[in-house]
Structure 1
Amino acid sequence: MPTTFTLPNIRREAAALWQLAWPVLVGQLATVGMGVADVAMTGHASATELAAVSLGASIWSIILVTVTGTMMAINSVVAHQVGAGEHQAIAHSVRQALWKALGVGLIGALACNAATLLFDHLHMAQEVNDRASLFVHIISIGMPPYAAYRALYGYSTSINQTKPVMVIALLGLAFNVTVNWVLIFGHFGMPKLGGVGCAVATGACMWLMLGAMLVWLKVSPAYRQTYPFTRWEWPYYPEIRSMLKLGLPTGITYFAEVSAFGAVSLLVARFGVVEVSAHQIALNFASLVFMAPLSFGIGVITRVGQAMGEANPAQARFAAWVGVGMSLSFAVLSAIGIALFNVQIAAAYTSDTAVQALCAHLLLFGALFQLSDATQVATSCAIRGYKVTRQPMLIQLLAFWVFALPLGCILGLAPDWIPFAPAAPMAAAGFWIGLVLGLTIAATLLSWSLYVLANQRVRDSARRRPAAMQA
């Protein structure tokens, strides 16, 4: 496999990564589309239902992302086994990942329900709190099947089968939108459930996607050699513990990032409807664009992991930096596009001129952090491909909770007790400046970490080779 940075080699690696990444990208957009559909469709029911769904979805999404990160250990584990040709070991690892998913999913469901106690301290109307709590109680039934689906998702992508996850995500989106329409508005004689209908649809959708993945694994010949359901296997705790050791730091990393953005949303809310609306629109668009570098990152985990499983760290290093380059190239294009069309993007979301103007301003910060955001996600995924997860976690915690959020509070809130705070609060713009700084710090430290790690693995391999020849 190519290991030198010549143009033909880069093209071949980029083509291989693109084959992995584009179905993942479509699937990620479909998954994000479920949340967009929930909010957009509930907005036509009533303001109370929209507030309840928005509140409940904020809890659900934070726990969901944390579970996603925790389950990502299977990606690097299976990728290494694919590279090493250990097909029987793959089946065993997937079975143990499913046992892990059962525990993680149940804990996630309990955490969702426990988090509803926070609603009573947000000074919202009691009707909104009650509806939001009911939303979470119902949607949490989808957390265990979602965790199991993510285990099989990681298994499938790591053996280079990414199109199934795209098809199943599109199926889930179609199901979600259809059942939302029926249950929110009470069509075909069904009761008019409002926002609770979203919870029923999304919870059921998680079970549908798991079932669809199980059927696909059964009928597709691509999984025959590594099919995990050939026999029953009880949980093997050393294996599960090893996966948790890999996955928990990633889950914490995802939690740190999402909770930091969530905290910014809550802090911006004090400045009124225009500020919070513009912030949410700009953040929503930035999140959609982020799906592309994230998809490249998931592909990079597979490419790096497979190369390391083949005991070829030079190829792993090559794949890692090509993946980072592809993510960065996309970020340059997206940054230019956002900067040029920020006004049009804002207008597509809202007709309120005040919200449009502020959103267009915030999108300029969004354009600025495209480069650092794409770099940090690609480098962190490459590092995870080496089965190193604690270092990205520490860097992300440092970037978001030590730099981004505190600086955002200083600039956005301008507290009197800080002597170097601005004369007046910068509101949402101040928080976005903090996010730009945090992402830049994360991108810089993660790039350096990847550089050191990749080169160290190559040097270690070079030292072992002469020793093995002498033996």
Structure 2
Amino acid sequence: MSTHHYSISHEVRALWKLAWPMLVGQIATVGMGVADVAMTGHVSAVELASVSLGASVWSIILVTVIGTMMAINTVVAHEVGALNFARVPHVVRQALWKALLVGLAACLLTNLAVLVFDYLQLEPVVHEKASWFVHIVSIGMPAFAAYRALYGYTASINQTVPVMVIAIGGLLYNVFMNWLLVFGNWGMPALGAVGCAVSTASGMWLMLIAMLVWIRIGRAYRQTYPFTHWEWPHWPEIMSMLRLGVPIGITYFAEVSAFGAVSLLVARFGVVPVSAHQIALNFASLVFMVPMTFGIGMITRVGQALGEGDPHRARFASWVGVGMSLGFGLLSAIGIAIFRWQIARAYTSDLAVQELCVTLLLFAAVFQLSDATQVAASSAIRGYKVTREPMLIQLIAFWGFSLPAGCILGLAPQWFPWHPAQPWQAQGFWVGLTGGLTIAAVLLTWVLARLANRRVAEHAAA
């Protein structure tokens, strides 16, 4: 029985011990996209714009896959907290069947998504290169979905070092292959954006293989080893995980698609705005991996506490995690504001792109606090196996506010009665994104407080 006395320092250490290997792994994973943008940025503005547009489409579906597969984190965490280890292998096997369905659907959607380029009035060479980038990257989607299923299983049994090691290996492979195929070193053809796509797609399959090998040889997996025998799909289990995971996927889609839609809308203003936007967004996404990783760790901590039947510890873990994320958000805001010129120069040598990028990075600095808060609060809520409310909040915040506000400020449509005299272009869209993140942070924090207090009250009444 819980004594309801918990140490903040103990919870911080426990969350950090769980999160830091995943943090390194997440940064390495996002670093692959950073490497793609940074390396093509030193080839030409055309190659950079092609990768930027391709990534804006591909990343929306990729992140939706991550969210949809995240159900296994919550389910396994609850089983581990309840010491029900015998059920974990079955859950993992069914999660892999789910991954096959999700991965194939993602592959199809990724290929269909290139049709949006036909409506953006792109330069023909950019249109062609961006389309090839998306088509090639789609080949890695099934592997990535399966990798995320095993990733969630690994994290939820408190084994996060494998995630870190495999992700670092994936980043090194990506950089090396980009060096070969983007620039044409060692006699290889200089493929530019297409080379980035080949590197990324093949890297996804190699990361899945590496994870399978690690699970096969790792001692920590013996108690819950999922590959002892063949198991056909069990549709009630798969549907249960889909009901839990699809709202998470939609939640991720709501935020990332808003940013991606902005990338596509900014493209009409030319190569310089879309390149500057993508650089600022790419770096902000890299920084976002820290609070996001805290959030993944919070799912495990909150889920295991609830599996143990201790809602007081679950509530405590939730607020400590939110506090850690908020503290990092403050530090990252200060860092981005101070070093924005250095960040822009690291990505591109184009002076016009640098100047606009510096302005957009100031907006990125402003929304660090709200972004860190909303991802931590939503992750804690998922630890309670509640996913629909965060989904609705994200849809309202980003599609109900961010995009409409961004279009009004960025495009200055004449039909809207309250529009600026001149379009604010990329800056206007970033104002809208900042407002949407703030709305999401406030509403999600309120939902978390209400949910955590209700579970404690229900436990006390029981």
Q: 1:40 to 1:366 in 2, by over 3 A?
A: closer
Task: Check whether the contact 1:75–1:158 (CA below 8 A) recurs between aligned residues.
Answer: yes
Is 1:157 the counterpart of 2:155 in the alignment?
A: yes
CA contact under 8 A between 1:281 and 1:346: conserved in structure 2?
A: yes
2:386 maps to 388
CA contact (8 A) 1:3 1:315 kept: no
TM-aligned CA distance change 1:324 to 1:5, over 3 Å: farther
List gaps (5 residues or longer) in structure 1: 465-471
Compared with structure 1, are the counterparts of its residues 253 and 375 closer, same or farther at alpha carbon in structure 2 (3 Å cutoff)? same
User: Structure 1 residues 420 and 117 mapped into 2: Cα distance closer, same or farther (>3 Å)?
Assistant: closer
1:70 and 1:250 in contact (8 A); partners too:
yes
1:234 Cα deviation from its structure 2 partner: 0.6
Within a 5 Å distance, the mapping from 1:247-262 to structure 2 comes to 247-262=245-260
Letter in 2 for 1:10: I
CA distance in 1, matches of 2:446, 2:66: 26
- Residue 428 of structure 1: how far off its partner (Å): 2.4
Post-superposition offset of 1:197: 2.6
Aligned partners of 1:227, 1:436: CA distance in 2, in Å? 44
How far off its partner does 1:253 sit?
1.1
For structure 1, which segment, 75-84 or 364-373, has the greater mean C-alpha deviation from structure 2 after superposition? 364-373
1:317 maps to 315
Q: Check conservation: 1:3, 1:314, Cα contact below 8 A.
A: no
1:371 corresponds to 2:369 = yes
Read off the aligned partner of 1:253 and give its amino acid letter.
T
Q: 1:133 to 1:379 in 2, by over 3 A?
A: same
* 1:53 counterpart residue number: 51
Separation in 1 of the partners of 2:192 and 2:275?
22
* AA partner of residue 165 (structure 2): V
The 10-residue stretch of structure 1 (131-140 or 26-35) with the greater mean CA deviation from structure 2: 131-140
Post-superposition shift, 1:353?
5.1
Q: Is the 8 A contact 2:402 2:432 kept in 1?
A: yes
Which residue does 1:399 correspond to in 2? Answer: 397
Using structure 2 for the length normalisation, give the TM-score.
0.94
Q: Does 1:440 align with 2:433?
A: no
| Letter in structure 2 aligned against 1:262 | G
Residue identity in the other structure for 1:143: M
SS in 1 for 2:182: helix
Give the aligned length: 462
Q: How far apart, CA to CA, are the structure 1 residues paired with 2:117 and 2:453?
A: 49
Q: TM-score, normalised by structure 1?
A: 0.92
Identity %: 71
Deviates more, 1:370-379 or 1:425-434: 425-434
The answer to whether the 8 Å contact 2:89/2:226 transfers is yes
Structure with more contact order per residue of length (Cα contacts < 8 Å, sep ≥ 6): 2
Provide the C-alpha distance between the structure 2 equivalents of 1:53 and 1:282, rounded to a whole number of angstroms: 14
After superposing the two structures, state which structure 1 stretch, 410-419 or 435-444, moved more. Answer: 410-419
Q: 1:195–1:268: structure 2 CA closer, same or farther, 3 Å change rule?
A: closer
Return the letter of the residue paired with 2:426: A
Distance in 2 (CA, whole Å) between partners of 1:344 and 1:189 is: 33
In 2, distance between residues paired with 1:46 and 1:181? 15
Tell me what 2:338 maps to.
340
1:316-348: per-residue Cα shift (whole Å, max 9, x none)? 100010000000011111122223333444444
Q: Would the aligned equivalents of 2:410 and 2:426 in 1 still touch at CA under 8 Å?
A: yes
Q: Deviations over 1:99-143 (max 9, x none)?
A: 000110011111111222333333334444344333333222211
Q: Which residue of 1 aligns with 2:204?
A: 206
Contact 1:3–1:318 (8 Å) recurs in 2? no
Aligned position for 1:86: 84
**Inter-CA distance 2–414: structure 2 relative to 1 (3 Å threshold):** farther
Matched with 1:109 is 107
Tell me how far 1:274 sits from its aligned partner: 4.4
